[in-house]
Amino acid sequence: MAVSLPLIRQLQSGSVSDAWKTLLSYSWEVCSPPLSPETAQQEVTRRDNQIAELDLFLATAGWDLWRGYEDAVEHTADALVSWWEKTAGGKAVLILDALSLREAPWILQGAIERGYKVEARATGAELPADTTPFAKALGFTQRSALGNNGGGSAHRLPGARTDCFDYPWTDCLNTVGTDPQIVIWHQWPDSHVHDFAEIGKGIRRLSQEVAERLTDPEFWRFVDRLTTGRRLIITSDHGYAATGNFADTTEADQKTYLKDTYSSGRWVKADQETQPPWLPPIALTLETKHGRNSFVAGRRKWKSPAGYPTLAHGGLSVLEVASPFIEISRQ
């Protein structure tokens, strides 16, 4: 399905901030409707393909919107801090590492079915869309710093008891305790994004596992424990790209540039601000609050010695930078 002409006009006629609000809102509308286990794999792929039209726009006519992303978008870290500051009483944050908009429907419909009050939207990751920049945006040195209440007192979520782990849901229950303010960073699904990045796996294998884990009664027991006396935000540090479905770069000089610059990744640190000579650009060097970095723009992949992964993150595509921001509370 192509992006509609009215949507393109809306993206081109307003401010950069308005354009990014529209992009995230449209992506949320595409990805958030309910899913069923029987058709989830096919439907997730269909939605991913629909978002591909936005990525094509951002990699061609709208590529300059990426230059304004950092100042224009509502960042997930800032949204969390704002919510934390204005929410009185008990509160909890559950960060599911690399949870993308694709996975949001399971949480939304599961919460509604169980009688929770739900408010949700899409927010934007840090650039690079990777783990450590998000941790630093919250005032932590890195993800692992949250483990065993090691977050300290200098971060932006004051008073929180912190933890970080990759336990099964059943084991997560015992980590909650009675603390009124909690921040938990769970390493799933990112751990399996990397496990399923091998050829022959990818988005279909991951979507099957997501359906199983986010409908597991033990996950909802965990949510129930977190929402006992607390309001809860479920969100992520970044999303991911289903790179196994991306088109191969065909131009020989572009393939060489991408392979030499990024190997089989999606971003690298940049010593100087240089842009490749193609327009529209196949990559962008951007100055962000996390330094000067160079990013692959759009849905591109290429042959690399180690084999290009079928799932990845850190580049400039919508589902890499969009995160679900879901508030759940007792009625």
Cβ atoms 293, 132 nearer than 8 A: no
Assign residue 148 the CATH number of its domain.
3.40.720.10
Helix-strand-coil percent breakdown of the chain, rounded to 5? 45, 20, 35
> Which band of pLDDT confidence, cut at 50, 70 and 90, is reported for residue 1?
low
Sorted by sequence, the CB contacts under 8 Å of residue 95 that are 6+ apart come out as: 183, 184, 185, 186, 235, 236, 237
Is 146 contained in some domain? yes
Q: What is the mean pLDDT of the chain?
A: 95
Count Cβ atoms within 10 A of the Cβ of residue 178 and give its class: 0-12 exposed, 13-18 middle, 19 or more buried: exposed
Count Cβ atoms within 10 A of the Cβ of residue 115 and give its class: 0-12 exposed, 13-18 middle, 19 or more buried: exposed
Is 226 contained in some domain? yes
Share of the chain above pLDDT 70, in %: 99
The pLDDT tens digits for 157-201 are 999 999 999 999 999 999 998 999 999 999 999 999 989 988 888
Beta strands in the chain (DSSP E): 91-96, 117-124, 161-165, 181-186, 231-235, 247-248, 267-269, 283-288, 291-296, 300-301, 322-329
Q: Is residue 2 predicted with pLDDT exceeding 70?
A: no
> Which band of pLDDT confidence, cut at 50, 70 and 90, is reported for residue 295?
very high
Is 62 contained in some domain? no
Q: What is the mean pLDDT of residues 249-272?
A: 94
Q: Is 0.85 topped by the overall pTM?
A: yes
Q: Which domain holds residue 164?
A: 75-241+319-329
> Which band of pLDDT confidence, cut at 50, 70 and 90, is reported for residue 280?
very high
The pLDDT tens digits for 211-251 are 999 999 999 999 999 999 999 999 999 999 999 999 999 99
Is 41 contained in some domain? no
Is 142 contained in some domain? yes
Is 323 contained in some domain? yes
When divided into structural domains, the chain yields a total of 1
For 141-198, the DSSP string reads SSGGGGGGG---SSSSSTT-EEEEE---HHHHHHHHTT-SEEEEEE-TTHHHHHHTTS
